[in-house]
């Protein structure tokens, strides 16, 4: 449980945390609170990277549409990803039907504003996130064959519907964070863990130009050792078996209070994290920062102090990640505090609203926005990933 003591200890740990590189010192110079400065994607592009965000269809069209928010996206983003609309639960009301309406809203909006599209996710291979009908599906007398048919039919249909997607999270979160073992679902019960390889092979056939990604939330935090090890085992297995995988998606829900109460990223943790990234990139994989936000659950209530702490941690983290030339894509998991998924989970002790994204409730750029901009400015140049839709038809 979070206590005032852990809260203060957390803030102190952040303040005392060693700076990762000399460059990180510039993060201390906060940008003006209401001036967003240059477009984040322009700064990213100058270094061979892309910046974008997750978005929900509801802010683009319908009664909750929010033009002030979409103006921010248009200014800062070179890519969008559906926060929920391309998951099985959204696309597949039942075994026969595909409902693309909500995801189409996002895809059409992205296309109209010259933003590329990432895809999340062809298979969230975790029983909690399967639609009920798939969990209860009767795979009949030849379960392996039927499971493979259901899976590959889904992947083919979805990839064909969105040929412009430049990068697909093929599998999401299939490594158990506690044990490092692979999770079981109705599909793996029917066809074995071959389900993962089949998903990648089918995605390669159906989306030959897309970057294919394994996406997960392992981090440097205490308690993540088994998770990191499990992910590396999975990636090694993919490489050994010749499974077509191009990148590791590092979700990057960083900060305090996700899995534990720490906010730190100390030298020892940084070393562990680099070891993990070295191993993944050593397998020839690119890195995608796929769901970036900075949780402020245990940070002090004062918004100025809190925003600065969020920005400082964000900057140190991005500096480290950008030191890998394999990091080419940064997707924020939302750009505007009130819409963040973190508002609904792990409440702050003071009950206050969270401040985990680049823009506050008044649509003003926060220090985190400046920190992301500075991290792009400081990043070494790299070879860009081709994200143009013209090349993927
Ligand atoms: O932000 C998403 C939230 O709106 C959904 O309710 C939730 C369940 O579908 O998924 C959230 O997004 C998750 C993403 O799909 C996978 N990585 C963790 C993200 C945050 O939970």
Secondary structure of 133-159 in HEC code, one letter for each residue:
HHHCCCCCCCHHHHHHHHHHHHHHHHH
Asked whether 63 and 37 are in contact (CB, 8 A), the reply is no
The answer, yes or no, to whether any atom of ligand 1 lies below 6 A from the CB of 169, is: no
Pocket test for ligand 1, best of 127, 341, 346 (most atoms within 8 A of CB): 341
Predicted TM-score (pTM) of this structure:
0.91
Between the CA of 341 and the centroid of ligand 1 the distance, in Å, is: 7
Give the model's pLDDT for residue 112.
98
**390 contacts: CB under 8 Å, gap ≥ 6:** none
- Dist CA 79 CA 332 (whole Å): 10
The answer, yes or no, to whether any atom of ligand 1 lies below 6 A from the CB of 219, is: no
Q: How far is CA 59 from CA 66, 164, 304, in A?
A: 5, 22, 28
The answer, yes or no, to whether any atom of ligand 1 lies below 6 A from the CB of 324, is: no
3-state secondary structure of 175: strand
Give the model's pLDDT for residue 17.
36
What is the chain's pLDDT, residue by residue, as a tens digit (393 residues)?
333 333 333 333 333 333 333 333 333 333 443 467 899 999 999 999 999 999 999 999 999 999 999 999 999 999 999 999 999 999 999 999 999 999 999 999 999 999 999 999 999 999 999 999 999 999 999 999 999 999 999 999 999 999 999 999 999 999 999 999 999 999 999 999 999 999 999 999 999 999 999 999 999 988 899 999 999 999 999 999 999 999 999 999 999 765 555 556 788 899 999 999 999 999 999 999 999 999 999 999 999 999 999 999 999 999 999 999 999 999 999 999 999 999 989 999 999 999 999 999 999 999 999 999 999 999 999 999 999 864 444
- Which atom of ligand 1 is nearest to 333's Cα? 1
Q: Which residue is associated with the tokens 């998903």? A: 199
Give the model's pLDDT for residue 221.
85
- Which atom of ligand 1 is nearest to 56's Cα? 4
Give the model's pLDDT for residue 389.
62
The answer, yes or no, to whether any atom of ligand 1 lies below 6 A from the CB of 298, is: no
Pocket test for ligand 1, best of 56, 57, 83 (most atoms within 8 A of CB): 83
Q: Write the CATH number of the domain with boundaries 27-391.
A: 3.20.20.80
Name the nearest CA neighbour of 340 among 67, 87, 54, 123: 54
- Report the Cα–Cα distance between both ends of the chain, in Å, rounded: 51
Give the model's pLDDT for residue 35.
64
The answer, yes or no, to whether any atom of ligand 1 lies below 6 A from the CB of 88, is: no
Q: Which residue's alpha carbon is nearest to atom 4 within ligand 1? A: 341
- Pair type for strands 165-172 and 247-250: unpaired
Q: Which residue is associated with the tokens 């440097």? A: 220
Chain center to CA of 190 = 29
């Amino acid at each position: 449980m979070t206590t005032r003591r852990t809260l203060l200890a957390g803030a102190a740990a952040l303040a005392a945390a060693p700076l990762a590189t000399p460059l990180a010192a510039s993060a201390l110079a906060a940008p003006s609170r209401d001036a967003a400065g240059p477009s984040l994607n322009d700064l990213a592009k100058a270094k061979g990277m892309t910046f974008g965000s997750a978005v929900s269809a509801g802010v683009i069209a319908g009664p909750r549409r929010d033009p002030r928010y979409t103006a921010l996206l248009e200014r800062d983003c070179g890519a969008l990803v559906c926060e929920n609309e391309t998951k099985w639960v959204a696309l597949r009301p039942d075994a026969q039907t595909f409902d693309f309406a909500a995801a189409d809203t996002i895809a059409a909006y992205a296309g109209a504003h010259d933003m590329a599209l990432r895809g999340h996710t062809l298979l969230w291979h975790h029983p909690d996130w399967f639609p009920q009908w798939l969990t209860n599906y009767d795979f009949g007398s030849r379960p392996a064959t039927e499971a493979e048919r259901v899976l590959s039919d889904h992947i083919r249909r979805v990839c064909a519907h969105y040929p412009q997607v430049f990068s697909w999270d093929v599998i999401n979160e299939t490594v158990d964070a506690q044990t490092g073992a692979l999770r079981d679902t109705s599909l793996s019960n029917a066809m074995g863990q071959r389900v993962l390889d089949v998903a990648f092979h089918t995605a390669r056939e159906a989306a030959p130009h897309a970057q294919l990604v394994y996406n997960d939330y392992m981090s440097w935090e205490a308690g993540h050792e088994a998770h990191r090890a499990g992910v590396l085992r999975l990636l090694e297995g993919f490489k050994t078996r010749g499974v077509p995988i191009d990148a590791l998606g590092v979700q990057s829900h960083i900060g305090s209070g996700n899995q534990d109460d720490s906010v730190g990223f100390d030298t020892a943790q940084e070393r562990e994290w680099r070891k993990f990234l070295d191993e993944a990139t050593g397998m020839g994989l690119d890195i995608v920062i796929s769901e970036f936000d900075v949780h402020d659950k245990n940070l002090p209530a004062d918004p100025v102090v809190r925003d600065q702490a969020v920005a400082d941690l964000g900057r140190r983290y991005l500096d480290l990640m950008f030191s890998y030339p394999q990091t080419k894509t940064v997707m924020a998991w939302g750009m505007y505090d009130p819409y963040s998924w973190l508002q609904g989970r792990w409440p702050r002790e003071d009950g206050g609203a969270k401040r985990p994204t680049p823009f506050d409730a008044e649509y003003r750029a926060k220090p985190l926005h400046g920190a992301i901009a500075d991290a792009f400015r400081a990043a070494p140049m790299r070879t860009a990933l081709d994200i143009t839709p013209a090349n993927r038809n």
